[in-house]
């Protein structure tokens, strides 16, 4: 029987805590025997990928493991701080 697969697709932009969630899903997926993949380019990646075409898979799909050196895994738990603009009177 093939492993179950978890796909992670995000909408882009900064979301506090999202990297930690991705890291946790990757680690927990590994513990329970699931393959975890990142879907690149948002909804385009989900709707345009041709799973029978290796070039398309490489463009849109990123296998995620505890050893993946992807920025989202490396930076888990960190987010950039953006200051809200000061209201002008």
Q: What is the pLDDT along the chain (89 residues), one digit of tens a residue?
A: 568 999 999 887 778 888 889 999 999 999 999 999 999 998 999 999 999 999 999 999 999 998 876 554 444 444 444 444 556 66
Taking alpha carbons only, the member of 86, 85, 76 closest to residue 16 is 76
40 within 8 A of 10, measured Cβ to Cβ = no
72 within 8 A of 17, measured Cβ to Cβ = no
5 within 8 A of 36, measured Cβ to Cβ = yes
pTM above 0.85, yes or no: no
């Amino acid at each position: 029987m093939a492993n179950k697969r978890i796909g992670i697709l995000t909408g882009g932009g900064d979301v506090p805590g999202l990297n930690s969630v991705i890291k946790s899903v990757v680690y927990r997926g590994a513990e329970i025997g699931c393959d975890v993949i990142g879907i690149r380019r948002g909804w385009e990646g989900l709707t345009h990928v041709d799973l029978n075409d290796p070039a398309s898979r490489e463009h849109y799909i990123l296998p995620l493991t505890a050893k993946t050196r992807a920025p989202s895994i490396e930076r888990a738990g960190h987010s950039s701080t953006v200051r809200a603009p000061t209201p002008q009177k």
